[in-house]
Amino acid sequence: MPYTVPKLTDFSVAALDNAVRELLSAIQKEKEVLVSEASEPSVASSTKTTGLKVFRDRWLARKNGIVTQITEFWLKVAPPDAKREVGQRVNAVKAEVERYVAETQQRVEFFARQSAAALESVSRVDTDLQALRREATRSELERGRLDITLPGIRRPIGAEHPVIKTMNEIVGVFRNLGYSVEEGPEIETDYYNFEALNFPPNHPARDTQDTLFIAGQESKELRDRLLLRTHTSPVQIRTMQKMKPPVRVVCPGKVHRNDALDATHSPIFHQVEGLAVDTNITFCDLKGTLDHAMKALFGSSVKTRFYPSFFPFTEPSADVQISCIFCDGKGKRDGAACRNCKASGWIELLGCGMVDPNVYGFVDYDATKVSGFAFGMGVERIAILKYGVDDIQLFFQGDVRFLEQFG
């Protein structure tokens, strides 16, 4: 521990001599440490001189240096009959401290000069080596021995964000099934986001979307008003407008809803929606497709189940659950109820259904000749399950310590 001036209560000659010995021993040790560090070639000159200043101020500073403190704590509080003995020792200590500081300064400055000279020498050598390398390279080029067609050194470009990584994995599963990828604008019209998806004006299902509208749209017709898309389903409408059946597409992208931030909700998140339209497509095709996708994402032992739901653009509609990947669908883990599936053994993951025939009317498809199914899943929801993350906000806070775990 650094030396601290003790407050004397015993002013006998023996006690005074003992206090002086402890002080001089302390400064000797600090001097040895400082000189030893200064002698290390790896320590920069600026660091050496900074350490010297701290040492000098600690012992000789006028306001709170140790020499000043012994005058306050020893001499001023000494009884009258001990003043003389204490004064002699304070003067002797002051002279010794000044000598130690002067010697230390000489040694440290000597090592600092050596270090600076060594760095200058290394710098000169490095400059000479660089010149030699440039000359050698120029000679190689002149002799035609350097193959400039060889690939350069690639710089590392980091790793995928866990949400993008999960989204690419989902898209990859459906690519392998023959699906193509389609994208669309994040700022959509009411027509594509709602009306063409069988959400007529004043439909109560619009209220569940928590839509963020662009300001200043009141003068436009409802179908032309701009908003931040609440799902990637508008991409399906745009795709069907420009393509005739058969259609098999997945639509990944960012979506927006007016949700308050908490562990499971975010105003910005990502979806992957899919659409298949052809002749003779049935609900069995939908179940087989999603069952295969869930097994590809979570393992071959995962089971799926479908139960009735409602979406304006599909009829019939269903929600899809998978058997809990944390408790193997048992509802219990480590002898207690599984928290992830709330002891049910099942986790709700996505929505789906057969495309409502009304939707085909908006894209000039003949509902008597074609049928199809659609599905949609939240990417963050799947990433949370795959990586065991307990708060969706961690994906968007940009904390490198969190993101490095997925590199």
Q: How far is CA 362 from CA 71, 184, 307, 358, in A?
A: 96, 18, 28, 7
pLDDT tens digits along 171-183:
999 999 999 999 9
CATH number at 241 reads 3.30.930.10
Which of 66, 100, 135 lies at the terminal end of a domain, its last residue? 135
177 with 246, same domain: the answer is yes
Q: Are residues 108 and 217 in the same domain?
A: no
**Of residues 312, 315, 321, 316, the one with CA closest to residue 233:** 312
Sheet with 371-378, side-by-side order of all strands = 180-181, 247-256, 268-278, 371-378, 346-355, 314-323, 304-311
Check residue 303 and give its pLDDT: 95
User: Are residue 257 and residue 295 in the same domain, yes or no?
Assistant: yes
Same domain membership, residue 166 and residue 78: no
> Model-level pTM?
0.60
Instruction: Give a three-class secondary structure readout of 88-147.
Output: HHHHHHHHHHHHHHHHHHHHHHHHHHHHHHHHHHHHHHHHHHHHHHHHHHHHHHHHCCCC
HSE at residue 3, side-chain half, CA atoms within 13 A, is 22
Q: Give the pairing of strands 247-256 and 314-323.
A: unpaired
Two structure tokens written together for 272: 């992957």
End of a domain among 117, 135, 153? Answer: 135
CA 293 distance to own-chain centroid:
29
328 and 215 fall within a common domain:
yes
pLDDT score recorded for residue 273: 96
Tell me if 1 is assigned to some domain.
no
Residue 90 forms part of a structural domain: yes
Pairing of strands 332-333, 212-213: unpaired
pLDDT digits (tens, 9 = 90+) for 339-353: 889 999 999 999 999
Does residue 42 sit within a domain? Answer: yes
Report yes or no on 107 lying in a domain: yes
pLDDT at position 141: 55
Q: What is the pLDDT of residue 119?
A: 62
* 321 and 383 co-located in one domain: yes
- Sequence-distant (6+) residues with CB within 8 A of 381 are 349
pLDDT reported for residue 41: 63
- Same domain for 361 and 237: yes
Gap between the terminal Cα atoms of the chain? 43
Domain limits for position 305: 162-406
Claim to verify: residue 227 and residue 350 sit in the same structural domain: yes
Tens of pLDDT along 216-233?
A: 988 999 889 999 999 999
5 inside domain? no
Summarised one tens digit per residue, pLDDT across range 38-53 is 677 666 666 667 777 8
Nearest Cα residue to 92 out of 148, 33, 35, 19: 19
Reported for 49-53, long-range contacts at CB under 8 A and 24+ positions apart, including other chains, are 49/108, 49/109, 49/112, 51/108, 52/104, 52/105, 52/108, 52/109
Centre a 10 Å sphere on the Cβ of residue 197 and count the other Cβ atoms it contains.
24
Q: What is the spatial distance between Cα 164 and Cα 383, in angstroms, rounded to a whole number?
A: 9
Total number of residues shown for the chain: 407
Same domain, 304 and 373: yes
Which of 119, 135, 151 is the endpoint of a domain? 135
Q: Are residues 327 and 178 in the same domain?
A: yes
Q: What pLDDT is stored for residue 379 in this prediction? A: 95
Could you tell me if residue 222 is inside a domain? yes
- Spatial separation of the C-alpha atoms in residues 86 and 136, rounded to whole Å: 74
**To which residue do tokens 């400039």 refer?**
148
- For residues 279 and 369, the answer to whether their CB atoms sit within 8 Å is yes
Residues 233 and 367 in one domain: yes
pLDDT confidence of residue 34: 76
Residue 317 bridge partners (DSSP): 309, 353
- Distance (Å, rounded) from C-alpha 372 to C-alpha 311? 15
Decide: residue 243, CB within 10 A, 0-12 exposed, 13-18 middle, 19+ buried. Answer: middle
Whether 151 is in a domain gets the answer no
Split into its structural domains, the chain has a count of: 2
Residue 208 has a pLDDT of: 66
Show pLDDT as tens, one digit a residue, over the chain (407 residues). 677 888 888 888 888 888 888 888 887 888 788 777 767 766 666 666 777 788 788 777 888 888 888 888 778 888 888 888 878 888 888 888 888 778 877 877 777 777 666 666 656 756 767 777 777 666 655 655 667 787 887 777 778 899 999 999 999 999 999 999 999 999 999 999 999 998 888 777 677 668 898 999 889 998 899 999 999 999 999 999 999 999 999 999 999 998 888 888 899 999 999 999 999 999 999 999 999 999 999 999 999 999 999 998 999 999 999 999 999 989 898 889 998 899 999 999 999 999 999 999 999 999 999 999 999 999 999 999 998 898 899 999 988 888 888 87
Q: Which of 80, 88, 101 is nearest to 24 (CA)?
A: 101
Residues 187, 115 share a domain: no
> Would you say residue 20 lies in a domain?
yes
